[in-house]
Structure 1
Amino acid sequence: MTMEPEELEKLKFPLGRFTWEGEWSEERKNEWIASIQGAPEALAKALDGLGEAQLDTPYRPEGWTVRQVVHHLADSHLNSVTRFKLALTEDHPVIKPYREDLWAELADARSYPVAASLRMLEGIHDRWTALLRTMTEEDYLRTFFHPESQADVSLRRALANYAWHGEHHTAQILELRRRQSW
């Protein structure tokens, strides 16, 4: 199946790519925290009623399966909480990147039931939200260094990015369901 580049981009990024222009307000911060808090429930609703064959369907040509996306979210958000805690307890730490593409190919990501990652996400997001709500404005200005992008990342930017990340992958699943009429 040949797709136009614009069509493939829309399947990859149904909400658009993440952008950060430094926008920050108490209202935006609370919206992003609410998004992180609600991400596990939104994902569970997007998965509701899907069978094994549907979970093993790629959300786009040459993309991950729905199952891999769910396991990726648990892996990614576990890493994100660790990055937040490192930035809060160390002075500008260098974080450890990981090969998410290779993690998604491991046997657990390809075949393990998604319920395990949904439970992980519920726990991770519960603790993460509690942490986010206790952070001061000064805390959100703390940074970590990401060696892959060679960039300093503020916890403000990381908060916005991970709120988008949960919504982004849930939207991929919802878009697949819409296209497949599931």
Structure 2
Amino acid sequence: MNEIVNDKLYETRKELVKEITELSDAQFNTKLDPNKWSIAQVVHHLVLTEEASIKAIAWGLKENVSTKKERKEIQLILLDRRKKIKAPQIVEPYAEPFEVLQILDLLNETRKRLIAFLNTLEDKSTLADKSMYHPAFGELPLDQWVEHIYLHEQRHIEQIKELKFLLEIRQ
């Protein structure tokens, strides 16, 4: 991956951690609406999405055929929170409560796995030459799967900020 993507992955994760570190476990798990996710569930969804993305990228790389697809403007969709995207069942968060420290550990583990996986690639340009089906975007080049991780986190950081604001109003 190029330096810009590495920096975006790092900076976005740093911002996410900053947003949740100071929360109590009670705040972290408070659901303001029975049909909406708690902050803990939002972050668990991010963990599950990163894990699923690693698997999808690995699967896409195993394909012997070059399946290069057109790049898509995923940032326009992901960063516009007015556009709702239903999470596939595989990345829906668990209902049970989480501790902030537990989720921080999960975030660290999945990011270590992602970076370790990406570092095993001898020729990272193959990520642009192959694609894999993405539930929200259809066929997506594998390098955009990596970009999707930090853009998706940015989307949900804004959601977390809104939830924190609403939690402060209710207290």
TM-score class, shorter-chain normalisation, is 0.5 to 0.7
Q: 2:102 aligns with which of 116, 125, 142?
A: 116
Supply the AA of the counterpart residue of 2:3. N
Structure-2 residue corresponding to 1:144: 132
Structure 1 position 31 matched with structure 2 position 4? yes
Q: SS state of the match for residue 63, structure 1?
A: coil
RMSD: 3.1
Q: CA–CA distance in 2 between the matches of 1:59 and 1:167?
A: 21
The structural deviation recorded for 1:73 is 1.1
- Per the TM alignment, residue 76 of structure 1 is displaced from its structure 2 partner at its CA by 1.1
Distance in 2, matches of 1:176 and 1:150, equals: 26
Q: Corresponding residue for 1:75? A: 48
Q: Percent same amino acid among aligned pairs? A: 22
Q: Which residue of 1 aligns with 2:157?
A: 170
Aligned residue for 2:139, secondary structure, equals strand
Residue 58 of structure 2 corresponds to residue 85 of structure 1: yes
Q: What residue number does 1:44 align with?
A: 17
Deviations 1:74-108 (A, max 9, x none): 1111111111111122346xxxx95057x32x34x
> Which residue matches 1:127?
113
Judged with a 3 Å threshold, the aligned counterparts in structure 2 of structure 1 residues 59 and 138 are, in CA distance, closer, same or farther, namely: farther
d(CA) in 1 for partners of 2:32, 2:143: 30
Contact kept, 8 Å, 1:36 with 1:163, in 2: the verdict is: yes
CA distance in 2, matches of 1:49, 1:119: 15
SS at match of 1:136: coil
Q: Deviations over 1:146-167 (max 9, x none)?
A: 4x45821111221222110112
Deviations 1:81-140 (A, max 9, x none): 111111122346xxxx95057x32x34xx3132322321221221232344455522332
* 1: CA distance, partners of 2:158 / 2:12: 11
CA–CA distance in structure 2, aligned partners of residues 39 and 173 of structure 1? 13
Checking the alignment, whether the CA contact within 8 Å between 1:40 and 1:122 is kept in structure 2 is: no
Q: How many residues were matched structurally? A: 146
Distance 1:138 1:132 in 2: 11
Pick which of 77-86 and 44-53 moved more. 44-53
Unaligned runs of at least 5 residues, structure 1: 1-25
